Amino acid sequence: MPEDLADLVEQSAADGTPIREVAGQDWVEFAEAFLANHPPGQWISRERERLTNTIDRATGDKP
């Protein structure tokens, strides 16, 4: 997925397309749409789970 995002930014730059035209005005919406195009099971799902587990352990919510 990071490669896809890098490719998108690089191609936009090569085409002279401003990043605001690519991502729009709402960066959160762009990020959510970008993530939605990458199905569960890919690295983002693992990283979300790892982050949640780390926070749970740090706060004492999980052993």
Q: Summarize pLDDT for 3-61 with one digit per residue, the tens.
A: 788 888 899 999 999 888 988 889 889 888 888 887 766 677 777 888 888 888 888 87
Q: Is the pTM of this model over 0.75?
A: no
Residue 18: which domain range?
Answer: 2-59
DSSP per residue over 2-54, as a string? Answer: HHHHHHHHHHHHHHT--HHHHH-S-HHHHHHHHHHTS-TTSHHHHHHHHHHHH
Say what the pLDDT of residue 60 is: 84
Say what the pLDDT of residue 52 is: 87
Q: Which two tokens stand for residue 58?
A: 């740090």
Q: How many domains does the chain have?
A: 1
